[in-house]
C-alpha cells in the first residue's frame, strides 16, 4: 500500500501565534533554553521549569489551529492509515483541528506523566498543582516534554514510518533538529515547505514550496491526493 508521511515542525504552528526558542537567540519567551528545556536545568530548578510549562499551557489555550492544521486533519480523516501524521510540535493544534493519531516526537504539552509508573494524565491547559502521581503516589509527576539530554522514544516510530512511506512531506521545519534532508532520500518522493529558502536543504527534495504553511497546504493536499491516486507528477 502507498503511504505518505507528513512531518511538521514549528513553522506549522507559528502562524497560530506560537513562538519557538529557535527564533530568538537561545531564549524561549524570555527564558534561557538550557534552564527550562534541559534535564540538567530541570534537576537544578524544577519549580522554574514547572512554572514555565504552566505558562506554555496557558498560552496554548489562547491560540487556534490554522488552515494548515485543518487541512492535515482532513487528509488524515480521508486517507486514514495511508497517512502518518508526525510532529515535532508539543502543542495540541492538530488534535483541536480534529486530526486523529498524531505522533508527537518531542512530547505533548497538555499532558503530565509519572516518571515512576509511566502513567500519562491530560490536564489540558491547567497548572501542574502537585508532583505526586495520583496513581502510584510517588513524587515524580512531570511535564510530558522531551528535554535536551533525554531520549526521544518516538524516533523509532518515525523511522518505521519513513521505511513504509513513498512520499515524505516536510512542513515548517528547518532540519536543525532532525536530518530531514536525509529522510527525503529514504523515500521515493519528497516535498518541502518552509517560509525561508535553504538551497542546501531544498536540493534534497523533489518539490519545494517556499511560503507559509497555510498557503502551501492546498497544493500539498493536491500532491498527496495525486500520489495516493497514482497520478503524482
Ligand atoms: Zn505514578
> Residue 62: which of 151, 127, 125 has the closest Cα?
125
Question: Tell me, what's the pLDDT at 231?
Answer: 87
Q: How far is the CA of 132 from the centre of ligand 1 (A)?
A: 8
In the predicted structure, residue 215 carries a pLDDT above the cut 60:
yes
Question: Tell me, what's the pLDDT at 26?
Answer: 59
Mind listing the pLDDT tens digit for each residue in 113-141? Answer: 999 999 999 999 999 999 999 999 999 99
Q: How far is the CA of 128 from the centre of ligand 1 (A)?
A: 15
Assess contact for 5 and 165: CB atoms under 8 A: yes
> Residue 145: which of 187, 108, 101, 97 has the closest Cα?
108
Mind listing the pLDDT tens digit for each residue in 17-67? Answer: 987 655 555 566 677 888 999 999 999 999 999 999 999 999 999 999 999
User: For the chain, what are the domain ranges?
Assistant: 4-18+65-106+152-228, 27-62+112-145
Architecture field, domain 27-62+112-145: 2-Layer Sandwich (3.30)
Q: How far is the CA of 154 from the centre of ligand 1 (A)?
A: 21
Is 106 among the residues known to form the active site?
Answer: yes
Question: Tell me, what's the pLDDT at 179?
Answer: 95
Judged by average pLDDT, the poorest of 6-20, 154-168, 204-218 is 6-20
Mind listing the pLDDT tens digit for each residue in 59-112? Answer: 999 999 999 999 999 999 999 999 999 999 999 999 999 999 999 999 999 999
Q: How far is the CA of 183 from the centre of ligand 1 (A)?
A: 36
- This prediction's pTM: 0.95
Q: How far is the CA of 140 from the centre of ligand 1 (A)?
A: 7
Architecture field, domain 4-18+65-106+152-228: 3-Layer(aba) Sandwich (3.40)
DSSP bridge pairs for 169? 6, 191
Here the contacts of 214-220 (C-beta below 8 Å, separation 24 or greater) are 214/15, 214/66, 214/67, 214/68, 216/68, 216/171, 217/67, 217/68, 217/71, 217/72, 217/171, 217/193, 218/71, 220/71, 220/169, 220/171, 220/191, 220/193
Q: What are the helix (H) ranges across 15-123? A: 33-36, 39-44, 46-61, 67-79, 93-96
* Mean pLDDT in residue range 12-20: 89
Question: Tell me, what's the pLDDT at 32?
Answer: 84
Q: Which whole-number Å values give the CA distances from 18 to 11, 28, 91, 111, 195, in the listed order?
A: 9, 11, 9, 18, 15
Q: Which whole-number Å values give the CA distances from 170 to 4, 7, 204, in the listed order?
A: 11, 5, 11
Question: Tell me, what's the pLDDT at 21?
Answer: 55
Give the count of alpha carbons within 13 A of 213, CB side only: 25
Q: Which of 106, 120, 143, 182 is catalytic?
A: 106
Considering only residues 7 and 23, tell me which one the structure prediction assigns the higher pLDDT. 7
Amino acid at each position: 500500500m502507498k503511504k505518505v508521511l507528513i512531518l511538521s515542525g514549528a513553522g506549522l504552528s507559528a502562524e497560530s501565534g506560537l513562538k519557538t526558542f529557535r527564533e530568538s537567540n537561545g531564549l524561549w519567551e524570555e527564558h534561557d533554553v538550557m534552564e527550562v528545556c534541559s534535564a540538567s536545568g530541570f534537576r537544578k530548578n524544577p519549580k522554574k521549569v514547572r512554572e514555565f510549562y504552566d505558562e506554555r499551557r496557558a498560552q496554548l489555550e489562547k491560540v487556534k489551529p490554522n488552515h494548515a492544521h485543518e487541512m492535515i486533519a482532513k487528509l488524515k480523516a480521508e486517507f486514514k492509515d495511508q497517512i502518518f501524521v508526525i510532529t515535532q510540535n508539543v502543542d495540541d493544534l492538530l488534535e483541536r483541528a480534529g486530526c486523529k493519531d498524531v505522533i508527537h516526537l518531542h512530547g505533548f504539552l497538555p499532558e503530565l506523566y509519572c516518571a515512576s509508573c509511566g502513567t500519562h494524565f491530560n490536564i489540558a491547559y491547567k497548572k501542574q498543582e502537585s508532583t505526586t502521581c495520583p496513581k502510584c503516589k510517588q513524587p515524580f509527576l512531570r511535564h510530558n516534554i522531551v528535554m535536551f539530554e533525554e531520549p526521544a522514544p518516538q524516533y523509532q516510530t518515525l523511522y518505521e514510518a519513513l521505511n513504509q512511506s513513498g512520499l515524505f512531506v516536510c512542513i515548517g521545519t528547518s532540519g536543525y533538529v532532525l536530518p530531514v534532508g536525509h529522510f527525503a532520500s529514504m523515500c521515493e518522493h519528497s516535498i518541502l515547505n518552509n517560509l525561508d529558502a535553504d538551497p542546501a536543504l531544498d536540493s534534497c527534495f523533489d518539490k519545494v514550496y517556499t511560503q507559509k504553511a497555510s498557503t502551501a497546504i492546498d497544493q500539498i493536499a493536491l500532491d498527496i491526493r495525486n500520489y495516493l491516486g497514482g497520478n503524482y507528477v
